[in-house]
Amino acid sequence: MPKPMATFEHLLPENSLTFLETTWNDHNHQKVAQAIHTNAKSLAKLHLRFNSAAGSKYFLTKDGKECLVFPNLTVISLSRVCHEEIKMISPVSKLIPFPHLQVAEIGFKYPFADDILFRGNNKVLDTVNLVLDCKVINILLFDRWVNGRKPNLRSMVLFEAVSQINQYCSKSMYQQFFDKIFSSVRYFYSHSQHITDSLVQSLIPHRHYDNLQILSLINCTITLTQFLKLLDAFPGLFKIICSAPGYDGVFADKNIKEIFSKVKGILGEFRPCIGYWMISDPTVLPVDQIVELIILVTGLCPNLREINFGLRVEERVLCIYTKLCHSFQLIRYSDIVPAIESFTLSYEKSKPSIIVTKKSIELKE
């Protein structure tokens, strides 16, 4: 006969849980807390969904004074399905609760009062998914990354909690924060328009960050000028995910050759190395403008081989593809894309993509 499913009562005496995934609610939070506390030394992965804030402040402590230590925990994922604010006590202690933490995912406002989640794990912490607010910036920037301590992060995903964050964080704080982030990460994902705007304003024209490989700006709109500045700021960027960048004041009312000339003036001798561009929303601009943008970016980026579309808007993508194929016959594009051999429409993994085939010659200026 099959063994019955284990309950918290069955698991508590063993004190050897390595993985725990459950929902924290009004009815079971004491048992869940007990399971976490009695298995603190053995847990390697912890995934909690908070359906209630009841008792959550004792997540890291049994009595509000003594701090628990999770010596083997490598992944912590905390999410919330209730509307209550989740706050957790940070016991006054010099202990390092998560010395080997590699992945930290918190889907709501940072619940601790200090840097307890990031303490002592600079060298091993690999991936951070956070809701960004001024408290997080202060904690990371001034408590963790001061005195030259460089983070060893590989990936960061940022959401936003405070819409009026500029009222509390100065431009210089943003600049310092992003400078620390991009001195380390290879993959950066923003789900906030405000973070994206602040990122562009804070980074440019300060310095270049060679290590970033993937930049994703989901649910954000950007202008062509911002798009170009991001390419310039991240010369090692291979993949960018964003909405179709709209023409701003610099390029408004200009024909494609004038725009191409201005863009080359902005970038100078630099040619972006991106090979993959995902247009997350191809509906924000007219088809003709998206066609021009694809031709423009393809002409500027010698390595670009694939334009992917995040939304299944097949009719629009087909229209874009058809117009791209006809573009070879239009003299207004002849100086921009001399190295392009063909465009091909692909539906690999059910996602519409346009594959760019280029001739084996260098892009002529």
Q: CA distances (Å), 275 to each of 60, 88, 348, in order?
A: 45, 44, 17
Domain boundaries, the chain: 224-365
State how far the Cα of 138 lies from the Cα of 317, in Å rounded to an integer: 44
Q: In whole angstroms, how large is the CA radius of gyration of the chain?
A: 25
Predicted model pTM: 0.85
With CA atoms as reference, report the closest residue to 50 among 41, 59, 40. 59
pLDDT in tens, the chain (365 residues): 444 444 555 555 556 789 999 999 988 888 898 889 889 999 999 999 999 989 888 888 877 678 889 999 999 999 999 888 898 888 777 788 999 999 999 999 899 888 888 888 878 889 999 888 888 888 887 666 655 566 678 899 988 755 545 566 777 777 788 888 888 899 999 888 878 887 777 666 567 888 899 999 887 888 888 888 888 889 899 999 988 888 887 787 777 778 888 887 777 778 888 999 999 888 888 888 888 888 888 888 888 899 998 766 778 888 988 888 887 656 566 677 666 778 888 887 677 898 988 775 443 34
Residue 95: phi, psi to the nearest 5?
Answer: -65, 155
State how far the Cα of 293 lies from the Cα of 239, in Å rounded to an integer: 16
Q: How many helices (H) and strands (E) does the chain have?
A: 9, 13
Look at residue 145 in the predicted model and tell me its pLDDT: 63
Asked if residue 127 lies in contact with residue 104, where contact means CB atoms within 8 angstroms, the answer is yes
